[in-house]
Amino acid sequence: MQRGEKRVTNVLLTQPIVFSPALLIAEWGRKKTWVLKGGPDYKKIDPHSQLGFSGRRSDFSNLRVQRESEYFCCSHRAITPVEDEIPSSSPAVVDENPNHLITKSTGFHRDLNSLPKPLSATNIPFSSSDGTKVLVAYRGVPGSYSEAAALKAYPNCETVPCDQFEAVFKAVELWLVDKAVLPIENSVGGSIHRNYDLLLFHRLHIVGEVGLTVNHCLLGLPGVRKEELKRVLSHPQALDQCEIFLNKLHLNRISAVDTAGAAQIVASEGVRETGAIASGRAAEIYGLNILAERIQDDYDNITRFLILAREPIIPGTNKSYKTSIVFTLEEGPGVLFKALAVFSMRDINLSKIESRPQRSRPLRVVDDSNSGSATYFDYLFYIDFEASMAEPRAQYALGHLQEFARFIRVLGCYPMNTS
């Protein structure tokens, strides 16, 4: 537990009360606590059939999808923190054909075996830090946008790559790292629902947020022109966000686990006709050329990340704070309207509302007829509101919300990102 933080035990409430700051991040409940169970059903994909071509290594073994249940976390940590991604200042070299743009490589082609590699969370080495740096876990490989967000939040941190989102949570819970950085929503692609489910399933606390501007780049092997490319690898969301640019080049699109992982595959496989969409920093790490920058359809492409820790922070009132909660509601007409009204009547702004079906509860039938009966879900509601839990109005609002809710849990109260 770090200085300024305070451990708060869970509290079961049966009547609306006014809360003291010591109970800010306590767990709330009225009848019972709902726990999400189950998980995604991932299917393994034959990498050879996806690629449909042969290269130096025809099986393209690095491109694969692993089951979510096989949690992965790193065993080797990035020793040297890196600076935030900056556009390359290397001059472009243009040949006689103006349509052929060749950009000098932004870095050297390093030994990829020297980079941190994810391992199974069931076999995590329990090595301790010397305490000189903050250890921050993220999902992906070096050069990913999540790593850039971690370095933006903690410029001098030691980043720890994990293979799956579940492994990021476990790394914090097992005291392998101090913090975790988790993408939660994108201004173009929307919310990342898997991470909302994990926030409820695990007992970590939100202690901060950071916004990162996404700058997608087209990367290729040194000496390759973008017109020579026949296919491009990247995360499915990145491919969708660059649709206009990719349509102009008539490139076949192949999904990869993440953007930096796609760059790593292109560098290791060495197939000249294959490019990747990733960050400029990924080009530097894996020794690739930047063939085009800012290729996303929407230039104002921002991803919001949450910072997670084992212990909550005790908020104050000296700056702008945001509070994230999750709750379920009792049955009844207009109950959602009543639940949201507890914030409006106290002049508390809601900046985010997200609903997720409760997996642990069956569908309910609207009427008793045997044919054509409509069913509906029971939902979990995730809300971000702009107020500190040290403020009486926020405390009264949650006390009022308890009248309509089966379950309430404060996920975290943290300073708002104003950058």
Quick: pLDDT tens for 165-192.
Answer: 999 999 999 999 999 999 999 999 899 9
How distant, in Å, are the alpha carbons of 119, 277, 390 from that of 46? 21, 21, 53
Edge-first strand listing for the sheet containing 321-329: 27-29, 405-415, 321-329, 379-385, 350-357
Rounded to whole angstroms, how far apart are CA atoms 76 and 390? Answer: 40
How many separate domains does the chain show?
Answer: 1
Examine the pLDDT at 105 and tell me if it is beyond 50: no
Question: φ, ψ for residue 338 (rounded to 5)?
Answer: -65, -40
Rounded to whole angstroms, how far apart are CA atoms 157 and 1? Answer: 17
Question: The domain that contains 27 carries what CATH number?
Answer: 3.30.70.260
Q: Say if 127 falls within a structural domain.
A: no
Q: Residue 377: which domain range?
A: 21-38+312-415
Q: Say if 380 falls within a structural domain.
A: yes
Q: Say if 125 falls within a structural domain.
A: no
Q: Say if 134 falls within a structural domain.
A: no
Question: 297 by DSSP, 3-state: which?
Answer: coil
How distant, in Å, are the alpha carbons of 139, 147, 166 from that of 70? 14, 21, 9
The residue annotated as part of the active site, out of 303, 323, 328, 404, is: 303
Q: Say if 322 falls within a structural domain.
A: yes
Q: Mean pLDDT for the chain? A: 76
Q: Say if 183 falls within a structural domain.
A: no
CA nearest neighbour of 159 among 175, 139, 173: 139
Q: Say if 140 falls within a structural domain.
A: no
- Let me know: does 294 contact 215? Beta carbons within 8 Å: yes
Segment 85-96 shows an average pLDDT of: 38
Q: Is 303 one of the annotated active-site residues of the chain?
A: yes
* Global pTM value: 0.69
Q: Is 337 one of the annotated active-site residues of the chain?
A: no
Query: Mind listing the pLDDT tens digit for each residue in 225-262?
Result: 999 999 999 999 999 999 999 999 999 999 999 999 99
Examine the pLDDT at 344 and tell me if it is beyond 90: yes
The residue annotated as part of the active site, out of 72, 305, 327, 343, is: 305
Examine the pLDDT at 14 and tell me if it is beyond 60: no
Rounded to whole angstroms, how far apart are CA atoms 293 and 277? Answer: 10
What pLDDT sits at residue 121? 43
Question: 101 by DSSP, 3-state: which?
Answer: strand
Quote the Cα angle for 364-366-369, to 5°.
110
Residue length of the chain: 419
Q: Say if 126 falls within a structural domain.
A: no
